[in-house]
Chains A and B, each alone.
Chain A
């Protein structure tokens, strides 16, 4: 009986250890890529605080083809000589590289508006950060599901 108990315990232990190993296996890659995105964001912000708001990402929540995803970015800014958006950088967490694009605007832009098409390798969160003329940073993000990711066909 004691032998059976022991084997049961060890099996349970093995199961727990296995589950632990599995969860780290699942969690680690996602965390790593999010870290590369954080590193890319840090390179853009130079560690300055980023506040949420003012920036809006217009992107379909469900995408069939990841090779060409329409993206529209608007920032709530008067775009005057004294108060305007200097730059907008867009980041992703699941593509091979975290950067998507950086757009440089100025008071001549009239409106803080950019429209483009991007490529996404997986369902993920897209984040954009606007750098204003007063030095403050504002972020917006959008989560989306990609059914046919880019970079899979040859």
Chain B
């Protein structure tokens, strides 16, 4: 399990646009890094990142090797209702990391 940092404002006013920041520890191996013996480290990158709120997709990103190691992604959403935010990262090896955070709207 990779370490994940998620930053969601502790409380949001109804209708307010909030910024959600995410950081996951992942090597994002490009497949172009030489091992030194003429071969390369095999590619292993996070291909997709999805954020849903109560099952509804609010943000999605398709990533390529040009994304820096330990991908940082920040995006915004309108705080309408309190709910459960689910974040998931899928990498080349098919491993899916899922994290949750609560969105509190007053």
Contact = CB atoms under 8 A, between A and B. Distances in A.
Interface of A: 67-69, 92, 95-97, 99-106, 108-111, 113-120, 151, 154
B30 A116 contact: no
Contact of B67 (A100, A104, A106, A115): A100
Number of chain B interface residues as a range: 35 or more
Contact of A117 (B36, B59, B71, B78): B71
Interface string B63-97: 11111110111111110100000000000000000
A116 B58 contact: no
Task: Give the 8 A-B CB pairs with smallest separation, nearest first.
Answer: A110-B17, A115-B74, A110-B78, A117-B68, A104-B60, A100-B66, A68-B68, A99-B64
B61 A102 contact: yes
A79 to B, nearest CB: 8
A100 B78 CA distance: 26
B75 A113 contact: yes
Given A68-B69, A103-B75, A116-B73, A97 B64 contact: yes
Interface string B20-59: 0100000010101111100000000000000001001111
